[in-house]
Amino acid sequence: MRARFLVLWSVAVVACAAAFVAHLALRQNTVELGYAVGQARRGQRRLIEQRRLLAIEAATLRQAERIEVVARGRLHMDVPEPARVIPVGQTRRQQRMAGRVR
């Protein structure tokens, strides 16, 4: 009877120890995941701030006054003469007369 009790007692102690080790492993995994989530959120905030700054920079670069300064200064462009302007998007139908070669 005493040997059976010791075997059952040993099994119970080993089961409790295994449950405790499993609990500690799960707790450590939870803490590591918490740190990973915190780091990912910091990265997300950094990327959101970088995106906001890039949107401001893109809006600044798209300003008409700045584009005109770059076109005139660096590219040496000027406003074209009205005779050199060709409308785009308007279809002009050229009528060809039968028998005439152009």
Across 6-10, average pLDDT: 94
- Average pLDDT score over the chain: 89
Q: Is residue 89 part of a domain?
A: no
Is residue 30 included in any domain, yes or no?
Answer: yes
Note the pTM of the prediction, 2 decimals.
Answer: 0.54
The answer on pLDDT for 6 being more than 70 is yes
Question: What type of residue sits at position 36?
Answer: A
Over residues 22-34, the mean pLDDT reads 97
Whether residue 102 lies inside any domain: the answer is: no
Tens digit of pLDDT for each residue in 61-95? 999 899 999 999 999 999 888 888 888 876 655 55
Range of the domain at 22: 2-79
CA diameter of the chain: 123
How does DSSP assign 20-83, residue by residue? HHHHHHHHHHHHHHHHHHHHHHHHHHHHHHHHHHHHHHHHHHT-HHHHHHHHHHTS---PPPGG
